[in-house]
Every structure is written in structure tokens, then in C-alpha cells.
Amino acid sequence: MTTWSAPIWLYLWLAGMAGGAYFAAFLAERFTGNGNGQLLRIATYLGAPLAVVGVILLVADLGNPIRFWHLLTVFKAVSPMSIGTWILLIWIGVAVVMAILWWAEASLSQEAGRGLRQITGALSWIGFVFAILVMAYTGVLLATSSQPLWTGTLLLPALFVASAVSTGVAMLIISGATGRTRLVPGKMVSRLAEADAILIVVELVVLVGYAIWLSASSTAGTSEALALLTSGALALPFWLGVVLLALLIPLGLEFASWGKKLETGGVWRTVITSSVFVILGGLILRAVIVIGGQI
Amino acid sequence: MPKARLIDTSKCTACRGCQVACKQWNELPAEETKQLGTYENPPHLSGNTWIKVEFRERPGEWLFRAHTCMHCVDASCEKVCPTGAISHQGEVVLIDQKQCIGCGYCVLACPYNVPHRDEITGTARKCTFCIDRIGNGLEPACAKTCPPGAIKFGERADLIAMAEQRVQTLISDYGYPNANVYGADELGGLHTIYVLTERPSALGLPETPEVATSTVLAQWLSGVVTAGVLAALPFWLLFKRKKQIEAEQKSKVEGGVR
């Protein structure tokens, strides 16, 4: 009898990817300073609908979906689900307003457009802060419970954030590098792929830390929970889906194409393949953790 | 003075009268059950089963423990509930069936695995401490019915004193060196107190239960710091730093030309 099933792990995956893509696009454009906003637009236009689909899944999974509005009558700082409701609402709201302003800007004169651009610029900072919270909250939600796999360490939010940014970058790479007209310059895509390689290393380190912490924890049930992943019922999806598909294979592929021009040889194909693996692996990670915590 | 319930596992005969009384008073439907190889039934608590005698077998002896809501002072279910549907009414932890949206968070947050989502109502349900009985000066149905007197209801302080005395007797006269009282201090004090003949873990209870929200701030910090530092680092390295290096190289080349 599982309390949180497929809609929940699908949601964790979608919301993480949406927040991660926004986070990555925002930083990439702020740091280069010459962002034409194209990457952030892609992240927003794809991320907001993904988050909305996630929210629909969450509501559908409630025992009483019609009562979902009860969530909006309460703000409770100690309950991650209550906080998360508001985080999601605000982030989606900011993204929608930004999309509308971008759309309005395109139909305005240069002069009038400047004012709108300043508003979207300020909003994009709010969006950035809330994108971080969207990514972090999914891990905090699980970690604030009594299931040893989730509560045994302080690293589950870290693991989910690392995976969220990694899958978000992968989504940007795929949307930027495919299609008849390239939406994002090849150089940007190459750098995103390199960033993803480093992110995967970060995620790998966090995952190893998480496993060591679980095995060393004195909390009852943590070593059994870890064994479930490494040698128990979930060993196959864990080793094949998470370790190989989400981490080791993309890591190899990204480093193989490191520094190479996207247009040369099979580099383009390698980067896309690796990104698809990262996204699928991110889904399997959420599924393994959500299912594993309830066995 | 707060009331409480004392469950003395050394007196329990696993007759399961408490299960029946609970179902009758609270008008809970029967469950489709499974043969587990013993008289233990149904397999676990559910939205329709609010108390259940758990059986644990060991050589030469059965260990029985009625599993039900502890009515904790620091109740994890109440803390995580996102709609405020779970609240304390005096010592009783109650789920407001009109407020509950059935998100399942309390189910996963409870250290004792007590609340469960009911498929029919779509809400989380659990023992109400028979609040409609105790509010009228009666004892809960489980305590009222218990034939060997293993479940008692009364003043919490009196029950704890009684439990401690019983534990002394179990240790000195009946050969239970591990006997102990559970619930006097756990989670701010429980309102279901146990006399256990064995260590809590041997009877399916956590030795050192934690409130689900005990690490919530640290967990938030973990996620936000990871995003702000570890995940932001590659972007700084590849987008900001690389651009700076390129700019420096470019200015050097230009300097050389001049």
C-alpha cells in the first residue's frame, strides 16, 4: 500500500527540471552579460507548463482533489508542503507574467519596450530565487517525514537540487540544439554541456555522500533502506537507471565532447544523447527514492 | 489534568476485543482480510482500522502490542499537515474530516505509522481517542472493553505511576529484565503510555522517535546551499570566468599589436 506513487515522482522530476532549467538559463545569461534573453525565454516557456503539469498531477493524486483549495487558505512555515504550495504558485505566476511581458514587448516600440524590459529584468531575479526554492523544496518535502531513506541524512535536498539543475540543463541543451532553426548559439550549447558534466560530478559526489551517510547513520532503518537500493528490490533501477544512465554514461559522453565544436562530427549527437540519458535518469532517481522510502 | 491511555503489553491476551469495540463505536466497516498464519488480523492499520493487536513470535512466547495513535504532544502529523486539518483538542490529536484533502503527508510523517488514507472518503483517518465518549465522561471504547484490563484510561500522571510500579514488578517477580515504560517523555510526552515487556524495538516501536520536522531548517539549508554554491559553480566557471579569460587574452593581443 503506497501512499505516494507515480504522480508524485513524476511531479518531483518535472518541477525539478523546470526550476533547474530556469536556474541554469538565468545564471548563464547573467554571467555572460550579453544574454539576449533567448535561453531564459526557452526555460520559462518550457518550465512553466511543465510545472503546471506537475501541479495537476499533485492535485489529481489527492484523496480529495476538489478540496485542493484548502491549501491556499493556510500558510504554515513548518510544513514543507504548505510552503511548497506557495513557492510553486509564486514561481509559476512570475513565469507567466514574464512570458506576457515578453510577448507585449515584441509588439511595442523600442522606447516603450525598454520600460517593460526593466520590469522583466527585475522579475527574473524573483524567478531565480523561487526557482532555487522550487528545486530545494521537493527534497525537503520528503526529508521532513519518518521514512529512514528520506530522513536519515541532510543530503536528500542537495541530491535533488543537483539532479534538478542537471536535468534542467539537459532540457535546455535539447531544446537549444534541435529544431530546424537553432534557437541558441552552438557555443552556448557547448558550454551548457560542459556545465552539465561538472554538475554530474557534483551530483555523483552528493550521491556517494548520501550513501555513506545512510550507512553510517545511527537512525533505525537507514542501513536497511540503503541496502534496498544497492542490493535489494531496487538495485536494478538504482545501478542501471541512476548510477549508469543519469551519471556515469553522460559523464563519459560529455567529457568526450568537451571543448569540441558542436558542429564537428558526432559531437552534436553525443551531446543530445547524453542529455536524453540525464533526463531519463533524473526520472528514475525520483522514482527509486520515492518508492524506496515507502517499502 | 491531561488524560491518557495505558496499554500494558504484559496483560494483553490478543483477544482483539479492542479492535471490535473500536469498529463498533466508531461505525467503521470491516476489512477484507488475509490469512497471515496466525490470528493476527487485519494486516495493518488503515483508514478503517484504528487499533490493531500486533503479534510478534519468538521461541516459546508471543509478544502482543495494541498498535494505535499515541496522541503525541509534538505530533508530526499535525506539524506537516498543509491545510491545518490536524489539531490538538486538549490531549487528543484529531483529523478534521471536512478539512483534510488526503495528501498523505501525515501518513508518511508519523513515526508510528498510524494515520492512513481511506480510499472511500479520500481522507486520512485514525484513532480519535473516542473524543465523543471521553468528552462525556466515558472511557474510550478500547479501554472499556478490554477483558484482561490491559488498556486503562485515566489521569496521565496516575497511569505513569501505575506503569512504573508494574514495570518494577515485571522485573523483580516475573522475569522480564527488559521491561520498561514507553511514552512518558517521548515526543513531548505521549497520551498512549505502554508497559513493555521487552525493548521498544522488539515490539515495533522506535527507541528514540523524532518529530518529522526536527531537521526541517537544516534540510532547507542543504538544498539552498547546494543550489547557491555547488550548482552555481559550473556556470560561474564556464560562463563568467571563461569570458574574463578570453577578454584578458584579447586585450593582451591588442597590446602586442600596438
CATH assignment of the domain containing B194: 3.30.70.20
What whole-number percentage of chain B has pLDDT above 90? Answer: 84
More confident residue, A254 or B169: B169
State whether A79 and B218 contact (CB < 8 Å): no
The arithmetic mean of pLDDT across residues A97-101, rounded, is 94
Tallying the residues shown for chain A, one arrives at: 295
pLDDT on residue B25? 98
CA distance B247 to B48: 70
Contact A19, A134 (CB under 8 A): yes
B117 lies in the same domain as B230: no
CA distance B33 to B42: 5
Amino acid at position A89, single letter: L
Residue B40 three-state SS: coil
Maximum separation of any 2 CA atoms in chain A, in Å: 65
Of residues B27, B236, B190, the one with CA closest to residue A23: B236
State whether B101 and A154 contact (CB < 8 Å): no
CA distance B222 to B228: 10
B219 lies in the same domain as B202: no
Q: What is the DSSP letter of A264?
A: S
Neighbours of B107 (CB within 10 A): 24
B80 lies in the same domain as B57: yes
CA distance A51 to A90: 12
Neighbours of A26 (CB within 10 A): 23
Number of compact structural domains in chain B: 2
CA distance B112 to B108: 10
CA distance A207 to A213: 10
State whether B222 and A145 contact (CB < 8 Å): no
CA distance B86 to B99: 8
State whether A165 and B231 contact (CB < 8 Å): yes
* Alpha-carbon torsion (A89, A91, A96, A100), positive or negative: positive
Of B83, B110, B236, the CB nearest to A146: B110
β-strands B92-95, B86-89: how paired? antiparallel
User: A230: distance to nearest CA of chain B, Å?
Assistant: 23
pLDDT of A196 > 60? The answer is yes
State whether A28 and B235 contact (CB < 8 Å): yes
CA distance A133 to A248: 27
Among A111-125, A126-140, B171-185, B191-205, which is the least confidently predicted range? A111-125
Quickly state the pLDDT bin for B18 (edges 50, 70, 90).
very high
The arithmetic mean of pLDDT across residues B124-130, rounded, is 98
Partners of B103 on chain A (C-beta within 8 Å) are 62-63, 81
pLDDT on residue B100? 98
What whole-number percentage of chain B has pLDDT above 70? Answer: 98
**Could you give the residue ranges of the DSSP H alpha helices within A108-185?**
110-143, 148-151, 156-177
B190 lies in the same domain as B147: yes
pLDDT on residue B249? 78
B24 lies in the same domain as B126: yes
Which residues are B53's β-sheet partners? B66
- Give contacts of A 110-169 with B, CB under 8 A: 132-133, 135-137, 139-140, 143-147, 151, 154-158, 160-162, 165
Contact A4, A290 (CB under 8 A): yes
The arithmetic mean of pLDDT across residues A4-22, rounded, is 97
What is the interface pTM, i.e. ipTM, of the complex? Answer: 0.94
Of residues A258, A243, A230, A168, the one with CA closest to residue A203: A243
> Of B194, B210, B226, which closes a domain?
B210
What whole-number percentage of chain A has pLDDT above 90? Answer: 75
B195 lies in the same domain as B253: no
pLDDT of B257 > 80? The answer is no
- What domains, with CATH codes, occur in chain A? 6-292 (1.20.1630.10)
Partners of B102 on chain A (C-beta within 8 Å) are 62-64, 67
CA distance A262 to A27: 21
- Give contacts of A 22-51 with B, CB under 8 A: 23-24, 27-28, 31-33
B65 lies in the same domain as B102: yes
B132 lies in the same domain as B241: no
| Chain B nearest-CA residue for A165 | B231
B21-67: pLDDT as tens digits: 999 999 999 998 888 888 899 999 999 999 999 999 888 889 999 99
CB of A240 less than 8 A from some CB of B: no
User: A223: distance to nearest CA of chain B, Å?
Assistant: 15
CA distance A81 to B201: 30
Contact B68, B127 (CB under 8 A): yes
CA atoms within 13 A on the CB side of B140: 30
> Of B210, B225, B241, which closes a domain?
B210
Residue span of the structural domain in which B234 resides:
215-257
pLDDT of A266 > 90? The answer is no
The arithmetic mean of pLDDT across residues B4-19, rounded, is 97
Verify cis geometry, omega within 30 degrees of 0, for the bond prior to B42.
yes
CA distance A93 to A109: 26
A170-193: pLDDT as tens digits: 999 998 877 656 677 788 888 899
Residue A94 three-state SS: helix
User: B116: distance to nearest CA of chain A, Å?
Assistant: 8
B158 lies in the same domain as B231: no
Q: Which residue has the cell 559531437?
A: A267
CA distance A140 to A15: 14
Q: Which residue has the cell 525520483?
A: A286
- Average pLDDT value over all residues in chain A: 92
What are the start-end ranges of the E strands in chain B?
Answer: 3-8, 51-58, 61-68, 86-89, 92-95, 116-117, 124-125, 151-155, 180-182, 192-196
B101 lies in the same domain as B220: no
Maximum separation of any 2 CA atoms in chain B, in Å: 103
Residue B68 three-state SS: strand
Of B103, B213, B227, the CB nearest to A78: B213
Of A76, A151, A158, the CB nearest to B82: A76
B122 lies in the same domain as B240: no
CA distance B151 to A108: 76
Among A100-104, A139-143, A244-248, B130-134, which is the least confidently predicted range? A100-104
pLDDT of B1 > 70? The answer is yes
State whether A24 and B235 contact (CB < 8 Å): yes
B221 lies in the same domain as B99: no
Quickly state the pLDDT bin for B258 (edges 50, 70, 90).
very low
Partners of B111 on chain A (C-beta within 8 Å) are 146
Neighbours of A180 (CB within 10 A): 4
